Amino acid sequence: MNPAPPLLSVRKLRVSFRDEHGHGAEAVKGISFDIPAGKTVALVGESGSGKSVTAMAITRLLPEHGCHIDPGSEILFDGRNLLTASRRELRCLRGGDIAMVFQEPMSSLNPVFSVGEQIIETLMLHTGVGRKAAQQRALALLQEVGLPAPERKMRSYPHQLSGGQQQRVMIAMAIACEPKLLIADEPTTALDVTIQQQILQLLTTLQQKHGMAVLFISHDLELVGQFADEVVVMHHGSIHEHAPVQQIFEAPQDAYTKALLRCRPHLDRRPARLPVIRDFLGDSCHFEPPQRERGYQAEDRVILEVQDLCVDYHSRHGWFGRHSQRAVDGVSFRLMRGRTLGIVGESGSGKSTLGLALMRLQQASAGRVLFEGEDMLTLTPRQLRAYKRRIQIVFQNPYASLNPRCSVAQILTEPMLLHGIGCDAEERLQLAGDWLEHVGLPRKALAKYPHEFSGGQRQRIAIARCLTMHPEILICDESVSALDVSVQAQVLNLLQSLQDELGLSYLFISHDLAVVKHLSDQVLVMQQGRCVELADADTLYAAPQHPYTRQLLDAIPQGWPHCIRSRPA
């Protein structure tokens, strides 16, 4: 008996982009793969590998100008070539037979319409049902994707929902018309590990219930190992390996696949330096660095001590009332000189608010922050100025934290000018170039602007800007959470080498517990503004005491065979 034809077949897909001068590059280089009905195929690779371009080509959402798809390419869906389909056919397919969940739900949801209205519009447009039936179906969809209080969420606007709830709404819209193929483009990037697991479990449940095929796009092999049936590994627009998920994890054939598996920090080992892609793409693929010991030592000296810190947020309630919410509730810890304290917890746990309060960027309600014995919360703005040089912060999003109108030279020299570092502009420019080279970027990058760099390079620029102040404490607020695993490894290696060389102390805030264990000597776990556990990193991971800590550890992606669903033998 002949096997059933695949639901989707991509054949010799080539996509190139050109600017107004005719210059450009080939983003996808003749790739071919199939997606069987009811199965999950994962596209894996770094940023720039062509994953999202492939997904946008399937849905015909690539820009008409500046983008060229080779005439020899084919994308067959149920036997129809989508590349030759009319606009009318595509409108029926998109949202109907083919649905897509994008990476950033806040930029995909319309901020001026309620969640319910957006789902109702999708249903009325693609199924032709009346408004009352669409309302009932929208409510049932929100219940199906596990949103609490779905009746109230129907009336809510996107900004009133958390990131995980927004992604659930996007999934509800995607499955509204019971599509045959769901394309999920990085649907869990930058989400908490527990929310990430909930989204993956939700997709698995919905797939089994509706019989959907899923094209799952990610840069994290450990994550797709829990979800995919087959894995397609892409690099620079080409497919380097295509195999069942078990083979990818147990017997990867391509050096690039092996590199992706090794770049991510693991719970069972802590190398002195994380491997990066280039360690595996040369003549030798052998990389076994020595292991690094972690933990506070008896001779360590305290540089920062936080005592019963509280932070409240205030908002208006009605015409005259005022509502207060405690974001940080009585948190205490010590940070040792030259050591790293990891702070973990879900979104809304108070991690970032804690970091901002230490910098006096958010007003504390109570408590003390002792920097070498001096309470920073009681200092006047003039007194605080000297301490701001000694404690710096690296934010999560390098795209938002660098001024796009300023060159790298201006970004790095402005803080030095404000704090009186350097005798003149020439010396400050020389210092800026020195710090750029220190973080692994060439001096010629001074003349460029932020948009000319990748995400990892921008984060290096943000770190260099902090280092121009000669800080003693660096607060890293989710500073590697949105980076590819290989770029993440490079930034983590950079942070470690800077700590070894300069004796920096780190407060490393993250929801990624594997990354935190790799870099931290001690870990503080936060839940709903409170510290629920504080211990040396190895002790906490080996024997967590609090149920919430165990819940976070259980949610860490561990790839094959640690699956969230059962698989056929």
Q: Give 184-199 pLDDT, tens digit per residue.
A: 988 877 677 787 888 8
pLDDT tens profile 310-354: 999 876 666 666 678 899 999 999 999 999 999 999 877 899 899
pLDDT greater than 80 at residue 472:
yes
**With contact defined as beta carbons under 8 Å apart, do 294 and 538 qualify?**
yes
Task: For residue 145, give the 3-state DSSP assignment.
Answer: coil
Residue 54, amino acid: T
Q: With contact defined as beta carbons under 8 Å apart, do 376 and 390 qualify?
A: no
CA–CA distance from 508 to each of 297, 418, 479 (Å)?
19, 26, 8
**% of the chain residues with pLDDT over 90:** 50
**Tally of helices (H runs) and strands (E runs) in the chain:** 21, 21
Q: Is the pLDDT of residue 454 over 80?
A: no
At residue 569, the pLDDT reads 38
Assign 76 a pLDDT band (cuts: 50, 70, 90): very high
pLDDT digits (tens, 9 = 90+) for 224-235: 888 899 999 999
Rounded to 5 degrees, φ, ψ at 411 are -65, -40
**Does the structure show a pLDDT above 60 at 286?**
no
pLDDT score for 94: 86
- Average pLDDT score over the chain: 88
The yes-or-no verdict on residue 505 having pLDDT over 50 is: yes
Most confident of 339-353, 389-403, 555-569: 339-353
Which range among 30-39, 72-81, 88-97, 512-521 shows the weakest confidence by mean pLDDT? 88-97
What distance in Å separates the CA atoms of residue 102 and residue 393, rounded to the nearest whole number?
A: 30
Sequence letter at residue 376: M
H or E segment at 208?
Answer: helix 193-210
Cα distances (Å, whole numbers) of residue 238 to 32, 216, 262? 9, 17, 21
**305 secondary structure, DSSP code:** E
How many residues are present in the chain? 569
> Average pLDDT, stretch 111-137?
90
Yes or no: say if 16 and 68 are a contact pair by the CB < 8 Å rule. Answer: yes
Q: What is the pLDDT of residue 554?
A: 85
Instruction: Calculate mean pLDDT across residues 372-392.
Output: 90
Rounded alpha-carbon distances, angstroms, from residue 444 to 409, 429, 436: 10, 11, 9
Q: Which residue ranges does the chain devote to CATH 3.40.50.300?
A: 1-97+181-253, 302-314+321-554
**Mean pLDDT, to the nearest integer, of 59-87?**
91
pLDDT higher at 243 or 104: 243
Measured in whole angstroms, the distance separating CA 322 from the mean position of its chain's CA atoms is 35
Would you state the pLDDT for residue 287? 59
When pLDDT is averaged across residues 271-287 and rounded to a whole number, the result is 74
Report pLDDT for 318. Answer: 60
Q: Which segment of 96-110, 127-141, 204-218, 523-537 scores lowest on mean pLDDT? A: 96-110
pLDDT at 277: 84
- Asked if the peptide bond before residue 404 counts as cis, ω within 30 degrees of 0, the response is no
Q: What is the mean pLDDT of residues 144-158?
A: 88
Return the pLDDT at 567.
Answer: 44
- Residue 354, classed as helix, strand or coil, is helix
Q: How many CB atoms lie within 10 A of CB 141?
A: 23
For 302-314+321-554, CATH gives 3.40.50.300
Kind and range of the H or E element at 503?
none
pLDDT: which is higher, 303 or 189 = 303
Q: Comparing C-alpha atoms, which of 193, 128, 136 is closest to residue 552? A: 193
CA atoms within 13 A of residue 317's CA, in its CB half-sphere:
7
For residue 295, pLDDT over 50 is answered with: yes
Comparing 452 with 14, the larger pLDDT belongs to: 14
Please determine, for residue 176, whether its predicted confidence score (pLDDT) is greater than 80: yes
Among residues 566, 559, 557, which one has the least CA distance to residue 195?
557
> What is the reported pLDDT for 283?
56
pLDDT band at 449 (very low <50, low <70, confident <90, very high): very high
Three-class secondary structure of residue 344 per DSSP: strand
The region of weakest confidence among 60-64, 237-241, 247-251, 313-317 is 313-317
Structure-block tokens of residue 18: 């050109």
pLDDT the model gives residue 192:
77
SS3 102: coil
Would you give the end-to-end CA distance of the chain in angstroms?
22
568 three-class SS:
coil
* CATH code at 1-97+181-253: 3.40.50.300
How far is it, in rounded angstroms, from Cα 314 to Cα 317?
9
Q: How far apart are CA 339 and CA 108, in angstroms?
A: 40
Phi, psi of 139 (to 5 degrees): -65, -40
For residue 159, how many other CB atoms are within 10 A of its CB?
9
**pLDDT of the residue at 566:** 46
